Amino acid sequence: MPHASPLTDEQRQQMLADNPRWSLSDAGDAVSRQYQGRDFVHAFAFMSAVAIEAEKLNHHPEWSNVYRTVTIRLTTHDTGGLSDLDARLLERIEALAHRLSMD
């Protein structure tokens, strides 16, 4: 199981600068983003692809799906905030979103 290292303020700021569609929570301990698929099946396919990557990292998002909208929230409960695992999963999610044409 990978060990999570908390992100520094600088790392968190850089992650958000590199990914401006993600929002930092008011408490500063999580980031979130919504994605839009073409329809429910497209959104579910995206979630399935993300689930495989999350399992590889043994780091799982908090998320929901309503028809074609997928909302993802990343945080690391073990560290009480954002960690390198969140940053790694966010990168993988963004790559999948690009590949699968999620908006």
pLDDT digits (tens, 9 = 90+) for 55-101: 999 999 999 999 999 999 999 999 999 999 999 999 999 999 999 99
Token match 């301990």: residue? Answer: 29
Q: What percent of the chain has pLDDT over 90?
A: 96
Confidence band, pLDDT 50/70/90 cuts, at residue 3:
confident
The enclosing H or E element of 71 equals strand 69-74
Q: How far apart are CA 41 and CA 15, in angstroms?
A: 29
Q: Name the token pair of 32.
A: 């979130």
Distances (CA, A) of 10 to 7, 14, 30, 47: 8, 6, 15, 29
The Cα–Cα gap between 65 and 43 comes to 8
Number of other residues whose CB lies within 10 A of the CB of residue 102: 23
Over residues 42-49, the mean pLDDT reads: 98
pLDDT for 2 equals 61
1 pLDDT higher than 70: no
Averaged pLDDT score across all residues of the chain: 96
Q: What is the pLDDT of residue 52?
A: 98
